[in-house]
Amino acid sequence: MHVPVLTKEVLRYLNPEANENFIDATIGEAGHTAAILEKNNPNGRVLGIEWDTQLYELTKSRVAEFSIFNFQFSNRLILVNNSYADLKKIVERENFMPVNGILLDLGMSSWQLEESKRGFSFMKNEALGMRYNPQNILTAEKIVNEYPESEIEKILREYGEERFARQIAKKIEEKRKIKRIKTTFELVNVIKEALPPKFHRARIHFATRAFQAIRIAVNGELDNLKDVLPQTLEILSEGGRLVIISFHSLEDRIVKNFFKNKSDEGLLKILTKKPIMASEIEALKNPRARSAKLRAIIKI
């Protein structure tokens, strides 16, 4: 079962009140949304956006069966299958105004890692897909087997901050000449061969950064984030709040710089001088919360 991260902190900074409207732009399995709907009753609504078609259908069916929400809650939830990169168009199409707060949780859901069978996890032997939207033409397999070695190195270095980017890219080039790399375990073995033995048992699994980098490239995650940030300020009502949870230093840097620039322009007030991190207790209960960083602003 998916456990949403930093739920108390999300509620503190979004500060949902009765009858206010919120957008959960990365609804996933709806953990944060359920918490918001408890606070904005009786007539407050949530617009939930999910890019992953299968996860969208799963959440939609669970809502219909009232296994997540009671009737009162589900009646106030609007679900949309789309990318948050199209946020403004979605809001206009759904005529969802005013907007008192927006949440972006940039992490993956437990379902995507454990159940989707799309190659997101290096702990499961699956086909190299890594697509949030199964209709996306680009796959991890295509990048690994068809991109130039120099481009793979760039992806690993820039998106994964992988110190052995060159060695891994070179080993991928070497192995794919012999046989196409099609599964997660095959890629894990290639990465392992490229690294010095002492890094095989590091605190963070040796394939973590490479898998993260390739997933970001497949889904254009950083570009989508850059696209959505200006839209959030256009959509938010005056006094509306934006809360973003990131799990990657590049994501956090993009968010931090956007907030600072718009603050300097007098368009928003930053509510979190430093990113809010998970407590020690939450990190122990939910290891995925360890790398979560929350930043929040209020629109002036």
| pLDDT tens string 243-271 | 999 999 999 999 999 999 999 999 999 99
* 16: pLDDT strictly greater than 80: yes
- Is the CB of residue 154 less than 8 Å from the CB of residue 172? no
Asked whether the predicted pLDDT for residue 63 surpasses 90, the reply is: no
pLDDT, residue 228, reads 98
pLDDT of residue 72: 63
Average pLDDT of the chain, as a whole number? 93
pLDDT tens-digit series, residues 91-105: 999 999 999 999 999
Enter the DSSP assignment of 77. E
pLDDT above 90: residue 87: yes
Specify the residue for token string 């375990």. 185
Q: For 191-221, write each residue's pLDDT tens digit.
A: 999 999 988 887 789 999 999 999 999 999 9
Nearest to residue 124, comparing CAs of 113, 133, 134? 113
The full set of domains in the chain, from first to last, is 7-111+221-299 (3.40.50.150), 117-219 (1.10.150.170)
Half-sphere exposure in the Cβ direction for 72 (13 Å, CA): 11
Least confident of 31-35, 60-64, 103-107, 141-145: 60-64
- Which range (60-64, 143-147, 192-196) has the least confidence? 60-64
Helix or strand holding residue 23 (H, E): strand 22-24
Beta bridge mates, 269: 298
pLDDT digits (tens, 9 = 90+) for 152-177: 999 999 999 999 999 999 999 999 99
- pLDDT at position 2: 61
Distance CA 239, CA 196 (A): 52
State pTM to two decimals: 0.92
At residue 46, φ and ψ (nearest 5 deg) are: -130, 130
Asked whether the beta carbons of 14 and 241 are under 8 A apart, the reply is yes
First to last CA, the chain: 38
What is the pLDDT at residue 68? 56
The pLDDT, as a whole number, for residue 135 is 86
pLDDT of 88 reads 98
